[in-house]
Chain A
Amino acid sequence: NAGVTQTPKFRILKIGQSMTLQCAQDMNHNYMYWYRQDPGMGLKLIYYSVGAGITDKGEVPNGYNVSRSTTEDFPLRLELAAPSQTSVYFCASSYWDISNENTEAFFGQGTRLTVV
């Protein structure tokens, strides 16, 4: 049972380059999220998705794009990388169990991105 899988684990980008961070979950969760975490800070929500084909902006969406063509995958695209995007990125997925009002978010292992 893989859970949430993020790739790559590490990446160095030059200013102005683009890249896609991959995220896949095998738990059939409706909800998926992308967060960034700067040193000594909490998790800031970049984008989230409530199902295939539906995405919405979080707290810090500028400079990023997402798509959700399947339930399993939620890639995050960085266009024109900037030093301010140097951070650790976490993907997560969750669910809402209406029968017992239960939820939990599961995280990938993170991607450490440096823009130089």
Chain B
Amino acid sequence: EDKVVQSPLSLVVHEGDTVTLNCSYEVTNFRSLLWYKQEKKAPTFLFMLTSSGIEKKSGRLSSILDKKELFSILNITATQTGDSAVYLCAAFDSWGKLQFGAGTQVVVTP
């Protein structure tokens, strides 16, 4: 059975801190890993990774995939209160199935 596991499930940080979120997966016929941000409505897309070891960056957010060890990391540097959200990762397989993890609730305090 395919699994996508995120850790930690929640964390609280102060503005300016750096946050590292983990996503491990066991997915048959894995194709790519997606990260989303959710703030009380529909998830919004952050990154898609297919190749191992290549970092994707967007402003203060970055992500990398390790296909050998079957995990991905999402980093947020210099956190702001607007980064408070649930961060979701999902594994996309070659059949088209897209399975999400349980999410990590991030709270950034002023």
Listed in ascending order, the chain A residues whose CB lies under 8 Å from chain B are 30-31, 33, 35, 40-45, 48, 50, 56, 58-59, 90, 92, 94, 96, 101-110
Contacts and interface: CB of A to CB of B under 8 A. Distances in A.
Interface residues of B, number: 25
Contacts of A33: 98
A84 to B, nearest CB: 18
A92 B34 contact: no
5 contacts: A90-B42, A101-B51, A105-B45, A105-B98, A107-B43
A96 B29 CA distance: 14
B30 interface: no
Contacts of B45: 104-106
B42 A103 contact: no
Q: Which 3 pairs across A and B sit closest by C-beta, in order of nearness?
A: A107-B42, A42-B102, A42-B103
Majority secondary structure, B binding face = strand
Interface of B: 6, 31-32, 34, 41-43, 45, 48, 50-51, 86, 88, 90, 92, 95-103, 105
B97 A58 contact: yes
Given A104-B45, A110-B41, A43 B100 contact: yes
B5 to A, nearest CB: 10
A59 B96 contact: no
Contacts of B48: 102-104
Given A101-B50, A107-B43, A110-B42, A31 B88 contact: no
Given A104-B34, A104-B48, A45 B100 contact: yes
Given A35-B100, A42-B102, A103 B41 contact: no
Contact of B96 (A35, A42, A50, A104): A50
Contacts of A42: 6, 86, 88, 100-103
